[in-house]
Structure formats: C-alpha cells, structure tokens
Amino acid sequence: METVIDTSNQRIDGREADELRPIKVTRHFIKNAQGSVLIEVGDTKVICTAMVEEKVPPFLKGQKKGWVTAEYEMIPGSTNTRKSRDRNRGKIDGRTMEIQRLIGRSLRSVIDQTMLGERTIWIDCDVIQADGGTRTAAITGSFLALHDALSALIEAGKIKAMPITNFVAATSVGIYQGEAIVDLCYEEDSNAEVDMNMVMTESGEIIEIQGTGEERPFKKEELQKMLELGEASIKKIIAFQKDTLQD
C-alpha cells in the first residue's frame, strides 16, 4: 500500500509550527568594539556591536546615570533588490527609525542605568542578509554584545558590577495559512495573515508586542496562541544566550 504524507500544513523549510530556525552566534566578531556578535537566525544575518562612549546625552548630564541607545541599518546587498542607504535619501526612513528605537527601548528596560555612570553604550545593528526577523535577531544579538561590553567595563574597573537586571530576547510569530507559527522567514512573513513581533524578559515580562492583521482581523484565541508560542520560543532563545555567554 502506498503511503501518503499530508504536507498541506508543512512550512516552507519543513519546520514545525513551534520550531525556531537554527541560531548561530559568533562573539568578538569586530575587534574594535567592546562587544560584538554576528548573529545568524536561519538565513538572516546581523552584525551587532556595542561601543562605550564616556559621555551621556545633554538631557542626562549631571544625573549620575548612563544611557543605552541603538542604530539599525540594512546594507544594500542584504535584500534581493539593492536597498539604497539612508544617507543617500537624505533622511532615515520610518521603518529604520522604528526598529532602532525598539532595540534601544528593549535593552534599556533590562539595565540599571545608575550603575553605568555617565557614559553611553552605543548599539549598532547592521543587517548583512535579510530573510525575515531582522529586528528580533538584532535585539537578541545586541543583548549579547551589550553583555560583553559591560563585562569589559567591569574588567577595566570602570563599573563595579553588572548592570543587567534581566535577560531579554525577541522573536516573531504570526498566522500563516490559517496556522499560528513562530520565527517567520521572509516568504512566510510577506504572506502572513497576521504578523507579530514579541520582546520579553527571562522572567516572562513583556517589553513590547507589535501585532498587525495584515490580511484580516484576528481573534483573541489566535492572539493567545501566538503569545504562548512566542513566550515558549523566547525562553528557548534566552537559554541559548546563556549557553553562548558561558562558552
């Protein structure tokens, strides 16, 4: 008797609905930065660096606390068609601004800024290859780069203890072909009925949820399923971060 396998709900790359793409991190990727990683999530690749500047923005001067801020950009060859650099357009586009603010907020939420002293940690995220989930990969990788930069400050005697109060990571979830799935690749993301990004701490606290009904409204039951998928996946990613830092 011939065996027939039902592939109607199979994902593009053969993953299960709750299965993350393979994650790979190369630490100390850029020698000049106090912290740097190359993070690869499937075919998405992002270089994340963390560099220390011994001053704070004017609005923080004299307050005896530091600042963490981020910049994000996709290089021209990161997508199928060349992406023009922001500087050639004379301004940062709305998507870029939204993402870099998200990265900065996500990292500041797990830092005790009073322990930094009056210095700024600059996080730079450069997408060198995009296949969906660039902002979530940038957050996950930036946390590792930030951790390494702060460790360097401790070793140099510039701060007394680690200012990180919690681990943080991010992933995407969505509804694709009627099914809730996690960590969408570009083809899934561009055809998803519902698209959502989640940023959470190790203790399960939500930093940000960005969810949109791209093709249709979505039900509360679908939202709950996506939240459950996202939380379980972020726990796996944070476990990976911890293993990476131990190595």
| Residues comprising the chain, all counted | 247
Sorted by sequence, the CB contacts under 8 Å of residue 48 that are 6+ apart come out as 36, 37, 38, 39, 123, 124, 125, 138, 141, 142, 144, 145
15 is in an annotated binding site: no
Element (H, E) at 129: strand 120-129
**What tokens were used for 56?**
């704070």
CA distance from start to end of the chain: 50
Classify residue 195 as exposed, middle or buried by CB count within 10 Å of its CB (0-12, 13-18, 19+): buried
Question: Is residue 108 annotated as involved in ligand binding?
Answer: no
Structure tokens at 3: 């065996």
134 appears as a binding residue in the annotation? yes
Among positive and negative, which fits the CA dihedral 117, 27, 238, 105? positive
Do the beta carbons of residue 152 and residue 168 sit within 8 Å?
Answer: no
Q: What angle do CA 92, 90, 49 make, to 5 degrees?
A: 45
Nearest alpha carbon to residue 125 among 147, 110, 143? 143
27 appears as a binding residue in the annotation: no
Which residue positions form the known binding site? 95, 133-135
Query: Which amino acids are annotated as binding site for phosphate, given as ranges?
Result: 95, 133-135
